[in-house]
Structure 1
Amino acid sequence: MEKTLIANMRQMTYGIYVLTTRNGSDINGMIASWVSQVSFDPPLIMVAVHPNRYSHTLITQSRTFALHSLDSTQKDLLARFKGPDPAAKFSSIAWHDGVTGCPVLSDCIGCLECRVTQTLAPGNHTLFIGEVVNAEFNGEKSPLSTLDYEGCYLGKS
């Protein structure tokens, strides 16, 4: 079954986002694809993060995250935000502190800043459900998705 399970999971499509977070002076960003809108009223967004990620620690401590939609021409940001050095991820790109304190990338389709309202651990990832407390939108573009990406995250970090 594992072979057919993986084959089916590779066909599931997701958006590819940059998730940023901050706790005090510590910042980080990572690629996130397991993301979903949960509610419109209140506006709730869910993101799944593996517990061994540095961002997981920062979100757990600060209870905040920012989720950035990328356009399909921004694949170069994927390598940047997969890297191990948090400072290098943010060097030489434009960003500012959002209302939550999370880094907000200037060059993206848009950003949703969230305060965590609920945390669930149904499997090997933590689901952070955040209420949107601020939104920035920079214009309509074609969003980056797993259809544009050479790989598939199957939940192994």
Structure 2
Amino acid sequence: MLKSTDQTVMHSYPGLVALITAKHEHTQNIMAAGWHSYISFDPPIYGVAVAEERFTHHLMKASGSFAVNFVPAEFAAYIDGAGKHTGKDGDKFKALGIGWKPAETVDAPILKEAYAAYECSIIDINRYGDHDWFVGKMTRFHRDDSKFGPDRLPDFERIKLPLYLGRSQYLIADESTSILKLKK
């Protein structure tokens, strides 16, 4: 039975974690973000919640841009490492062995192992409680076509999605995962 409480109930799992990258001058960083979302399709706009104490927050604010990267389950260690370590201690890309290339329209790294990535130019930042919501106009899109079907949705026979359950645990969505298809 559902019980009423005045204590915060955090229920957003399982969830697809995005790897947020940012660069300002000669410093770059990567962080794991569970709170992120599309905001608009036309024009394409994406948002991510980042706490001010995060190293990436300052890079995003200074550069006015960020990138959103999604990696398959075989690179879940990137998500875990990006969430557990701070950029204040040095280059997380080197420490975690993450390959990247420069974005085309913003100053942020794009992960070589990503199956999808978005370049975002910041158009708004608002504080909500203990996080800032960074809103970015999506300026370039990257997609590994070998991981997607003709409907432009992930092909679970070719990609395994790491859905975060908390405490370094992941549910892997792949061809063996049960899919409920409702009639149209």
Correspondence 1:116 to 2:122: yes
- Where do 5+ consecutive residues of structure 1 fail to align? 153-157
Is contact 2:29–2:55 with CA below 8 Å preserved after alignment?
yes
Is contact 1:14–1:35 with CA below 8 Å preserved after alignment?
no
Amino acid at match of 1:146: Y
Amino acid at match of 1:95: W
Structure 1 residues 11, 121: closer, same or farther in 2, change over 3 A?
closer
Correspondence 1:93 to 2:93: no
- Where do 5+ consecutive residues of structure 2 fail to align? 149-158, 170-184
Amino acid at match of 2:48: V
Bigger radius of gyration: 2
Other structure's SS at 2:75 match? coil
Root-mean-square deviation (CA, aligned residues, Å) is 2.0
Displacement of 1:26 in angstroms is 1.0
Q: Please list, as runs of the form range in 1=range in 2, the aligned pairs for 1:1-12 lying within 5 A after superposition.
A: 1-3=5-7, 5-6=8-9, 9-12=10-13
- Aligned residue for 1:143? 161
- Aligned residue for 2:55? 54
- Aligned residue for 2:26? 25
Is contact 1:15–1:35 with CA below 8 Å preserved after alignment?
no
Other structure's SS at 1:78 match? helix
* Partner deviation per Cα, 1:51-101 (whole Å, 9 max, x = no partner): 111111111111100010121232211233131246442123321111212
Other structure's SS at 1:93 match? coil
Other structure's SS at 1:38 match? strand
Between the aligned partners of 2:77 and 2:59, the Cα distance in structure 1 is 24
- Aligned residue for 1:107? 113
Other structure's SS at 1:146 match? strand
- Aligned residue for 2:181? none
Between the aligned partners of 1:94 and 1:11, the Cα distance in structure 2 is 29
- Kindly tell me the number of residue pairs found equivalent between the two proteins: 148
